[in-house]
Amino acid sequence: MIRAARGILAALPFVCGSAFAAEPAATLLTADRVWTGDGQAHAGWAVLVDQGRIAAVGPADKLTAPAGAKRIELPGKTLIPGLIDLHSHVLLHPYNETTWDDQVLKEPVEYRVLEAARHARDTLQSGFTTLRDLGTEGANYADVAIKRAIDEGVIPGPRLFVATKAIVATGSYGPSAKSYRYDLDFPRGAQEATGVDEVVRAVREQAGHGADWIKYYGDYRTGPDGSARPTFNIDEVKALIQAAHQTGRKVAVHASTDEAMRMAVLAGVDTIEHGYGGSEATFKLMAEHKVAFLPTLTAPEAIGEYFQKHVRGGAPTPAMAQAAHAFALARKAGVTIGCGSDVGVFAHGSSARELAWMVKLGMTPTEALRAATSVAAAILDKPNELGSIKPGALADVVAVDGDPTSDIRAVERVGFVMKGGVVVRAQ
């Protein structure tokens, strides 16, 4: 009976208010231009989609669509690959709405999951068809369930790569024990571990529960004065990364201090998140070891707005200036830079703010677009599946007003979204 009911639901055109009907065998998308994920946009090109993948791309007058193919015309728009944000938290929402502590301690996990469903929908509608979600922040393994619900069509949302709980050194993360009664036992923002055996156990537990990536906090605000300090030692970091790589999973590290960044690079980490305090020497080391950088430039702007009276577009806060300096050092060193925004700290559905920051701080619009498409796909080890409009790739296609290769703000003007060959937004 249950299987039969699911079959009936799958045949319906609308589930939970969103379209999940199967697309025709083939769809021809035409627009003013197509940007494939590299180089310049091509005027007069079109994209042929078949069975959820890109079948062909090229000059519209040279593409032949099969008989019965659906035709979608998008005048005034540019077709680009579905965008990718490599640092998100679908289970968080902006801290000016509810503080991080109150989200973790006062919002039931079930409530946070329902909120996350809305966050996922808003993200997909904004043209971001893939997220790497880096930690549930006290919601256990809820990201695995959200990923499954999206994959099975229960809710609309982007393709997720999840890290589950994340791993922190004992006593180093929130909610901060010193802020509450010592005899209280409350949820932790991540899985605590001390010593080689415990960090290896945490990796294996998270992998066993469905983590696609492993994330750990290489430093946090544990200094006597509240300053960021490295937490794990080098032996713990090496063991953690080795255990993750042994399972075939890459490792991301939250690191804002130069010491924690350097330790992570030498231990074999795959990506560094934030990196605000990185030195020129450490960014050069990252380039040599092919460690990718996710600069999360929007997060300090958002925190400045919430708590430091920063006005968007005004003089940068010290944290914003530090992030900009790190970004410049990374670019100078030739580090691979992907789009990772820390969305959740700010509103879901507005990850495009990160691309605008990248351009403001020196990237060309095309470089920023690549950071959120082909470069991000390579970081995920999915260069043939995601981040490009090319034959064989998944049909994640977004249409934006104008030409984002000359005006990056065009990515904020989304008028059409296709994920895996299914139209999920159409004006």
The predicted-structure confidence for 270-316, as pLDDT tens digits, reads as follows: 999 999 999 999 999 999 999 999 999 999 999 999 999 999 999 99
Question: What's the whole-number mean pLDDT along residues 363-370?
Answer: 98
Question: Which is it for strands 42-43 and 26-34: parallel, antiparallel or unpaired?
Answer: antiparallel
- Is the whole model's pTM more than 0.75, yes or no? yes
> Is residue 417 predicted with pLDDT exceeding 70?
yes
Q: Which of 218, 220, 299 is nearest to 253 (CA)?
A: 218
Read off φ and ψ for residue 31, nearest 5 degrees. -150, 180
Total Cβ atoms within 10 A of residue 72? 18
Q: Which of 16-25, 51-60, 169-178, 376-385 is predicted least confidently?
A: 16-25
Parts of the chain belonging to CATH 3.20.20.140: 83-379
pLDDT attached to residue 61 = 92
Q: pLDDT exceeding 90 applies to what percent of the chain? A: 89
Parts of the chain belonging to CATH 2.30.40.10: 17-81+388-426
Question: What's the whole-number mean pLDDT along residues 329-347?
Answer: 98
pLDDT attached to residue 20 = 45
Q: Which CATH superfamily is domain 17-81+388-426 in?
A: Urease, subunit C, domain 1 (2.30.40.10)
Question: What's the whole-number mean pLDDT along residues 345-369?
Answer: 98
Question: What's the whole-number mean pLDDT along residues 231-253?
Answer: 98
> Is residue 15 predicted with pLDDT exceeding 50?
no
pLDDT attached to residue 85 = 98
Tokens 């998270």 — which residue? 206
Q: Which of 97, 90, 130 is nearest to 112 (CA)?
A: 90
pLDDT attached to residue 351 = 98
pLDDT digits (tens, 9 = 90+) for 119-142: 999 999 999 999 999 999 999 999
- Beta bridge pairs of residue 401: 77
pLDDT attached to residue 421 = 96
pLDDT attached to residue 179 = 87
Q: Are 175 and 190 in contact (CB under 8 A)?
A: no
Exposure b/e, 146-157, CB count within 10 A at least 16 = b = bbebbeeebbbb
> Is residue 415 predicted with pLDDT exceeding 90?
yes
CA distance 148 to 237: 30
pLDDT attached to residue 105 = 96
Strand order in the sheet with 159-162: 83-88, 128-133, 159-162
325, with CB counted inside 10 A (0-12, 13-18, 19+), is middle
- The confidence band for 366, taking pLDDT boundaries of 50, 70 and 90, is very high
CA distance 251 to 386: 20
Token pair for residue 290? 């092919």
Q: Which of 59-63, 140-144, 333-337, 340-344 is predicted least confidently?
A: 59-63
Class of domain 83-379: alpha beta
pLDDT attached to residue 274 = 98
Kindly state the helix (H) or strand (E) to which residue 167 belongs, with its residue range.
strand 167-169
Read off φ and ψ for residue 16, nearest 5 degrees. 55, 30
- The confidence band for 5, taking pLDDT boundaries of 50, 70 and 90, is very low
Q: Average pLDDT of the chain?
A: 93
Question: What's the whole-number mean pLDDT along residues 323-346?
Answer: 98
Total Cβ atoms within 10 A of residue 171? 14
Question: What's the whole-number mean pLDDT along residues 361-375?
Answer: 98
> Is residue 173 predicted with pLDDT exceeding 70?
yes
Q: Which of 1-15, 25-39, 261-275 is predicted least confidently?
A: 1-15
The alpha carbon of 55 is separated from its chain's Cα centroid by a whole number of angstroms, namely: 26
pLDDT attached to residue 23 = 55
> Is residue 201 predicted with pLDDT exceeding 80?
yes
Q: Are 210 and 151 in contact (CB under 8 A)?
A: no
CA distance 145 to 167: 19
